[in-house]
């Protein structure tokens, strides 16, 4: 969570003032480590859980402000996120020992019930899932951004830094290649963020061990395989988040400059300062805010503990997957490692099992090997992370023994190590066995949340259209989450468990054809005739080099032109026969309105555009498919 009650200035003077404060905060942190003032002798864990708000059809519902109001507006527990269809809950820290996991799980279940009850008052529900499959491009408008000065400034400054559109390219079973002009794609990700309190003396070896453990934990917990109708990575959030807030300019990209979302480039050698100083040096300030606090050095000189608010704010705009954090509680400072890669969901018990495995393996590695940096090259650790995110349990991972192993086999092999790590921390035997057995059973069955979604989606796509299949995935997933059973025990999806026909054909974007064949004005009519004959199509949009629609023509137009032409057919251009300024609709146009337009203008096809860019085409043939589906019952 971040501060929202901030006044952000874009003036160069404020930027320079903030940079001075940031440097002073980093220097103060170094001084505090030398003074040995940090809390020690206790290990705590805490967590933040992000959710999607969804409507009755399983689509995003931008009602966060109303739901928060129903929750009583307690900003210390519930908070908004970047988009109005997200909400977050923060649980208080627990000492990492005894029955801490059971208590956190019970609290998470209770909070989920509380948020769900508040959401129901506004006709919505709440879902813990890495990426909501029913999200579409239409949800990326700034109308869906939470009204907060922090978010408005973040969007303004990040897009200015990028100096162009954000480019998304993710290759999985399908390939997603697109551009976008704001940071709302970041809001398509929801996570289960874990915080581990560590001492400055143990920071380096703990951080390094967690870097190694994270790859195995993410392979076992993939829950984000579907994005904008594309089947991509087992944990697509890892690729999407990195690209959705990438502020690097084209020259910086060519130089290989570091993105703001990253795993790391090397092991931590000495202390948290390795990370903090490097980040302050490499990343430009996004949110320059002067909160009027005294300089941190002055606070230390007077025997106080500074808040290091400039460092915290800057750190909040740099997204290491394992991120160092500083905090002060009751006047006592502490350091934390925030683990960000694990996805939200599928259930509270799945999430707690993932946390238990991550922490158990982290401490087991330290117990068995000391500093893992001495046993593995960092580039292998980094490769593990992205391999695990992309292919999950099927990934090939490098291990400390110098060999490659299948991820599922390696996870099961490291279970005794994770068990030892938890037992050494004093975690109750019952929790150790219950939670690690759950991870083992999930891995042995091969059914992570990602696998459950993809397998069901693939089966349903053979019998129902895409939008109906995506809705079915979300609503069946919601049923599974409400059952409380871990995901490896969920029944597989065969067919939609409820009739979704009506809700699947309400908007043009749900039924339009996206697999388009287009031409340019300068293309020949002869080529167009051959294309239409080969592909069996009757309507072809004409677009320019920018992807903007400039005209339409039909097979009848082509036949008439070729019949009447008094010039060589090879010279007759599409621009000579196309209909300019055609009637268009958007993906959000209602299906009934589209039908009325087609009747009114006697059309058999409508091009679908968004911000002048061609996105699809709606033809009378598409309505035959809709009619067939609606008449089936």
Q: Measured between alpha carbons, how far is 155 from 286 in angstroms, rounded to an integer? A: 10
Domain 508-631 indexed as CATH 3.30.450.20: no
% of the chain at pLDDT higher than 70: 97
582: preceding bond cis by omega (within 30 degrees): no
Taking only the tens place, the pLDDT of each residue in 102-146 is: 999 999 999 999 999 999 999 999 999 999 999 998 899 999 999
Asked if residue 196 lies in contact with residue 337, where contact means CB atoms within 8 angstroms, the answer is yes
Q: Measured between alpha carbons, how far is 2 from 79 in angstroms, rounded to an integer? A: 9
pLDDT at 4 over 70: no
Beta bridge partners of 90: 48
pLDDT at 236 over 80: yes
Q: What is the pLDDT of residue 633?
A: 66
H or E, element range at 612: none
- Residue 563 burial (CB count, 10 A): 7
pLDDT at 281 over 90: yes
pLDDT interval class at 213 (50, 70, 90): very high
pLDDT at 540 over 50: yes
pLDDT at 625 over 90: no
Q: What is the pLDDT of residue 610?
A: 86
What SS3 string covers 444-492?
A: HHCCCHHHHHHHHHHHHHCCCCHHHHHHHHHHHHHHHHHHCCCHHHCCC
Q: What is the pLDDT of residue 263?
A: 97
Q: Minimal CA–CA distance to 150: which of 298, 8, 329, 342?
A: 8
Asked if residue 447 lies in contact with residue 221, where contact means CB atoms within 8 angstroms, the answer is no
- Region 615-633: mean pLDDT is 82
Asked if residue 488 lies in contact with residue 221, where contact means CB atoms within 8 angstroms, the answer is no
* Half-sphere exposure in the Cβ direction for 31 (13 Å, CA): 17
> What is the residue whose two structure tokens read 């010039």?
567
% of the chain at pLDDT higher than 90: 77
Strands 226-227, 192-198: pairing is unpaired
Query: At a CB cut-off of 8 Å and minimum separation 6, what does 248 contact?
Result: 162, 257, 259
* Half-sphere exposure in the Cβ direction for 13 (13 Å, CA): 0
Taking only the tens place, the pLDDT of each residue in 473-495 is: 999 999 999 999 999 999 999 88
Asked if residue 262 lies in contact with residue 242, where contact means CB atoms within 8 angstroms, the answer is yes
Q: What is the pLDDT of residue 149?
A: 86
Beta bridge partners of 235: 224
pLDDT at 567 over 70: no
Residue-by-residue DSSP string for 263-281: --SS---SSTHHHHHHHHH
Taking only the tens place, the pLDDT of each residue in 30-69 is: 999 999 999 999 999 999 999 999 999 999 999 999 999 9
Structural domain spans, the chain: 12-442, 449-504, 508-631
Q: Measured between alpha carbons, how far is 615 from 594 in angstroms, rounded to an integer? A: 15
Q: What is the pLDDT of residue 539?
A: 94
pLDDT at 221 over 90: yes
pTM, full prediction: 0.90
Chain centre to alpha carbon of residue 445: 26
pLDDT at 279 over 50: yes
Q: Measured between alpha carbons, how far is 193 from 2 in angstroms, rounded to an integer? A: 14
Phi/psi at 572 (5° precision): -75, 125
What topology is assigned to 12-442 in CATH? Creatine Kinase; Chain A, domain 2 (3.30.590)
pLDDT at 6 over 60: no
Check if 12-442 and 508-631 are the same fold: no
Q: Minimal CA–CA distance to 344: which of 254, 449, 261?
A: 449
Q: Mean pLDDT of all residues in the chain?
A: 93
Q: Measured between alpha carbons, how far is 476 from 96 in angstroms, rounded to an integer? A: 34
Q: Measured between alpha carbons, how far is 482 from 127 in angstroms, rounded to an integer? A: 9
- Region 600-608: mean pLDDT is 94
Q: What is the pLDDT of residue 1?
A: 43
Asked if residue 229 lies in contact with residue 420, where contact means CB atoms within 8 angstroms, the answer is no
pLDDT interval class at 569 (50, 70, 90): low
* Half-sphere exposure in the Cβ direction for 596 (13 Å, CA): 5
Q: Measured between alpha carbons, how far is 424 from 382 in angstroms, rounded to an integer? A: 28
Minimum mean pLDDT among 7-21, 397-411, 538-552: which range?
7-21
Distance of CA 182 to CAs 93, 318, 449, 463, 610, Å? 34, 18, 29, 36, 15
Q: What is the pLDDT of residue 458?
A: 96
């Amino acid at each position: 969570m971040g501060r929202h009650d901030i006044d952000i200035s874009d003036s160069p003077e404020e930027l320079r003032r903030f940079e001075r404060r940031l440097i002073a905060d980093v220097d103060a942190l170094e001084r505090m480590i030398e003074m040995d003032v940090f809390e020690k002798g206790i290990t705590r864990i805490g967590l933040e859980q992000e959710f999607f708000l969804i409507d009755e059809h399983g689509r995003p519902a931008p009602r966060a402000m109303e739901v928060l109001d129903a929750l009583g507006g307690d900003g210390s527990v519930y908070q908004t996120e970047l988009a109005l269809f997200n909400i977050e809950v923060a649980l208080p820290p627990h000492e990492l020992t005894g029955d801490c996991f059971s208590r956190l799980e019970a609290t998470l279940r209770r909070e989920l019930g509380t948020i769900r009850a508040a959401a129901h008052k506004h006709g919505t529900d709440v879902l813990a899932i890495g990426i909501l499959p029913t999200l579409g491009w239409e949800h990326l408008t700034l109308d869906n951004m939470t009204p907060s000065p922090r978010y408005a400034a973040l969007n303004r400054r990040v897009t200015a830094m990028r100096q162009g559109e954000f480019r998304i390219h993710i290759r999985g079973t399908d390939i997603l290649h697109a551009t976008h002009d704001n940071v709302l794609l970041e809001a398509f990700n929801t996570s289960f963020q874990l915080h581990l309190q560590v001492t400055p003396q143990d920071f380096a070896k703990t951080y390094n061990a967690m870097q190694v453990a994270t790859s195995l934990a993410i392979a076992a917990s993939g829950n984000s395989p579907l994005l904008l109708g594309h089947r991509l990575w087992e944990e697509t959030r890892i690729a999407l988040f990195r690209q959705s807030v990438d502020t690097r300019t084209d020259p910086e990209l060519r130089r290989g400059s570091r993105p703001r979302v990253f795993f790391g480039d090397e092991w931590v050698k000495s202390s948290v300062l390795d990370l903090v100083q490097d980040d302050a040096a490499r990343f430009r300030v996004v949110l320059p805010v002067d909160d009027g606090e005294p300089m941190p050095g002055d606070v230390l000189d007077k025997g106080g503990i500074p808040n290091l608010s400039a460092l915290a704010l800057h750190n909040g705009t740099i997204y290491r997957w394992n991120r160092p954090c500083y905090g002060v509680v009751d006047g006592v400072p502490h350091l934390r490692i925030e683990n960000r890669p694990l996805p939200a969901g599928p259930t509270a018990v799945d999430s707690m099992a993932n946390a238990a495995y991550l922490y158990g393996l982290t401490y087991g590695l330290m117990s068995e090997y000391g500093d893992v940096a001495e046993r593995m090259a960092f580039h292998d650790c980094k490769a593990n992370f992205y391999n695990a995110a992309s292919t999950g349990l099927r990934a090939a991972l490098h291990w400390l023994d110098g060999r490659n192993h299948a991820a599922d086999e390696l996870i099961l092999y490291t279970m005794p190590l994770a068990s030892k790590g938890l037992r050494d921390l004093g975690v109750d035997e019952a929790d150790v066995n219950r939670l690690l057995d759950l991870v083992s059973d999930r891995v042995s069955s091969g059914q992570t949340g990602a696998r459950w979604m993809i397998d069901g989606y693939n089966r349903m796509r053979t019998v129902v259209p895409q939008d109906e299949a995506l809705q079915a995935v979300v609503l069946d997933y919601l049923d599974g989450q409400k059952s409380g059973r871990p995901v490896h025990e969920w029944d597989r999806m065969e067919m939609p468990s409820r009739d979704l026909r009506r809700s699947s054909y309400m908007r043009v974007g749900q039924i339009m054809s996206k697999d388009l064949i287009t031409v340019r004005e300068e293309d020949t009519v002869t080529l167009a005739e051959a294309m239409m004959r080969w592909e069996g199509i009757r309507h072809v949009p004409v677009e320019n080099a920018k992807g903007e629609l400039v005209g339409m023509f039909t097979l009848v137009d082509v036949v008439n032109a070729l019949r009447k032409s008094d010039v060589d057919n090879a010279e007759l251009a599409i621009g000579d026969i196309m209909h300019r300024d055609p009637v268009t609709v958007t993906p959000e146009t209602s299906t009934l309105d589209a039908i009325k337009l087609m009747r009114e203008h006697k059309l058999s096809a409508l091009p679908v555009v968004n911000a002048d860019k061609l996105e699809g085409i709606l033809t009378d043939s598409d309505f035959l498919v809709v009619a067939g589906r609606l008449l089936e019952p």
